[in-house]
Structure 1
Amino acid sequence: MTKFKKELLRDDRNGKIAGVCAGIADYFGWELWLVRVVALASLLLGFGGFLPVLYIVGWIVLEKKSVAEARKGTSFVPSIEKPVEVKTRIWQRGEAPKQALGHIQQQFDSIEQRLRKIETYVTSSKYQLHREFNRL
């Protein structure tokens, strides 16, 4: 599996205002609610003038994730190929192990159903007929 260089992007799909907090959460692999709580707490606890300026700078400087994906042509990923992220710590993004196991089970069931359909088609007389036509 190849590693891709991660970029800090604004996540406009999951963001509330501009997607800066959602982009930071995605970049570091943290839960989105945690980044929002830390941002709000730091705003209330004394970083009042500094944090909004950083947020606005992030809004202006960072590219939208949907635009970057469209530019790279990577916006469509089939549901079978999406990795299941297992959460090991509370601040990490992902699913609890039981939920992850359930999603993996669903993915394997879906793959098995597709494989059964392919096997049914390949062993049918319709497939043999198509093969004969293609040979002509």
Structure 2
Amino acid sequence: MSAIRTKLYLDKPNGKWMGVCAGIADYTGVDVIWVRVGAVMLTLLGFPWTLIAYGMIGWMAPQKPSGLYDNAEDAKFWQGVRSNPKRSTAEVRSKFRDIDRRLAEIETYYVSRNTRLADEIDRLR
């Protein structure tokens, strides 16, 4: 499932012509306006290969599947994975360490001899 989310797709619903710039923007996390400006500037500066590359990507890249991301946070996460996988795994490990630490604190609170908690439970009976 994750391999699907790390590929470059054409984003025709958000695209102007073939959806290549919108797909690159979605893939990299850069605003689509800057990708379009960059493509136009490269073409105007005399790099005809930009148009050739644009056409080849438009011809070869698959359409973006509908429902690829559940929400904006999910899309942002996968953009980060594509840009820097090591940093993304470090962030996930950090989150899991924090969750594990908090669960250990909760477990210590409930397992240890806690008279206040025992009194509250007795009052509820």
The alignment's TM-score, normalised by the length of structure 1, stands at 0.48
For structure 1, the 5+ residue unaligned runs are 86-136
Highest Rg: 1 or 2? Answer: 2
Measure the CA separation in 2 of the matches of 1:76 and 1:58: 22
Q: Which residue of 2 aligns with 1:93?
A: none
Measure the CA separation in 2 of the matches of 1:57 and 1:8: 13
For structure 2, the 5+ residue unaligned runs are 77-125
Distance 1:60 1:36, change over 3 A: same
What letter is aligned with 2:2? Answer: F
Size of the alignment, in residue pairs? 73
Q: Which residue of 1 aligns with 2:30?
A: 30
The alignment's TM-score, normalised by the length of structure 2, stands at 0.52
Cα distance, 1:4 vs. partner? 2.7
Cα distance, 1:76 vs. partner? 8.0
Q: Which runs of 4+ in 1 moved over 3 A?
A: 74-77
Report percent identity of matched pairs.
34
Matches within 5 A, 1:1-136: 4-5=2-3, 6-47=6-47, 49-65=48-64, 68-69=65-66, 74=67, 77=70, 82-83=72-73
Give the number of the structure with larger relative contact order, counting CA–CA contacts within 8 Å between residues 6 or more apart: 2
Distance 1:50 1:82, change over 3 A: closer
Measure the CA separation in 1 of the matches of 2:69 and 2:29: 21
What letter is aligned with 1:31? Answer: D
What letter is aligned with 2:57? Answer: G
Distance 1:76 1:23, change over 3 A: closer
